[in-house]
Amino acid sequence: MKKLIVLISGSGSNLEAISKACSEGIINGVIASVISNNPNAYGLERAKKNNLSYKVINHKKFENREKFDEELSNYISSIEPDLIILAGFMRILGKKLSDKYFGKIINIHPSLLPKYPGLDTHERVLKNNDSFHGISIHYVSSELDAGPLIAQGKFQIKNNLSEEELKEKIHKIEHILYPKIIKEICDDRIHLEGNKVIFKNLKSSNNIIYENYDL
């Protein structure tokens, strides 16, 4: 059984989906710790409700990013996880930390990367009148939202959707696809060799798993 760490900053809805998949035996893993940089994150309430160990490492208490990263790295090292999962973690990890755990950290991003790295993805999608929107799951590198892609889930934008409606659809896909990909990683069917994602007995196209959703 794989040892997982989940990093959050906000509501923790993806944490909830991952925890559920673990408790139901879908993911062959256990969440060893939840880490939040935000002491007021609602995701901490979800962690308590699901009897998950958690730790707050408040970035505001550190004089610089390097000190925060050092504390975070030390805590992660003490747990020795098999996989580190960023689930709405709103801090950019420094190069030293992301290089140290390269191949062990994954992230979920609310856009079809390489489109729209960073923030305000839903707003940018609407502004550019895109026909499709979706999510990307990728290994974390030292470059923002640019690590090797693992999977993408997309849907067609129908009618005049609001930013909030787009966000709701994105969350639905996240809660399905993220646990699914974590399951495959924990089952050793997805791993990283150098900068290339390797899939074992999984259907992929251009070395990425694609899923389309009718939402």
| Residue whose tokens read 């995701």 | 43
How far is the C-alpha of 97 from the C-alpha of 1, rounded, in Å?
A: 25
- Phi then psi for residue 60, to 5 deg, are -70, -15
Residues belonging to the chain: 215
| Residue whose tokens read 């208490």 | 61
Residue 34: count other Cβ atoms within 10 Å of its Cβ.
Answer: 28
Q: Tell me the one-letter amino acid at 34.
A: V
| Residue whose tokens read 């090797």 | 148
| Residue whose tokens read 């979706």 | 134
8 A C-beta contact, residue 39 and residue 116: no
| Known active-site residue 109 | yes
Q: How wide is the angle at C-alpha 29 spanned by C-alphas 35 and 209, nearest 5°?
A: 95
Copy the structure tokens of residue 120: 């305000």
10 Å CB burial of residue 70 (0-12, 13-18, 19+) is middle
Residue 153: count other Cβ atoms within 10 Å of its Cβ.
Answer: 25
Catalytic residues: 109
